[in-house]
Amino acid sequence: MDKLIAWQDFEKIEFALGTILSANTFPEARKSAYILTIDFGEEIGLKKSSAQITEPKLRVNIEASSQKILDEVLEKISTNI
């Protein structure tokens, strides 16, 4: 099975960059997870999401982690163009 999508399908994806305002443990989750509150700005607003991030110092490194994830996504995008 080919795991790559066609460029036309990729163009349909809407990306939004937000700022993680808080990361709290999510004890009700089946696997260890965090509830994230993310600010996407005026157009989208505040959203909540969950993330199964296993980095032990997540709360201390949340901004660095989100920047690292963004950098990795952008690198993968640029290498597949």
Indicate whether 39 belongs to any domain: yes
**pTM, to two decimals:** 0.56
Question: What is the residue range of 21's domain?
Answer: 17-79
Q: Per the domain annotation, does 3 fall within a domain?
A: no
- Domain membership of residue 5 (yes or no) is no
Residue 4 is assigned to a structural domain of this protein: no
Split at pLDDT 50, 70, 90, the class of 48 is: very high
| 3-state secondary structure at position 19 | strand
Q: How many domains does the chain have?
A: 1
Query: Which residues, in sequence order, are bridge partners of residue 23?
Result: 36
The single residue listed with the structure tokens 């960059």 is 17
**Is the per-residue pLDDT at 69 higher than 70?**
no
Q: At 71, which amino acid appears?
A: D
**pLDDT at 50 (0 to 100):** 84
Please give the radius of gyration of the chain, using alpha carbons only, rounded to the nearest integer: 15
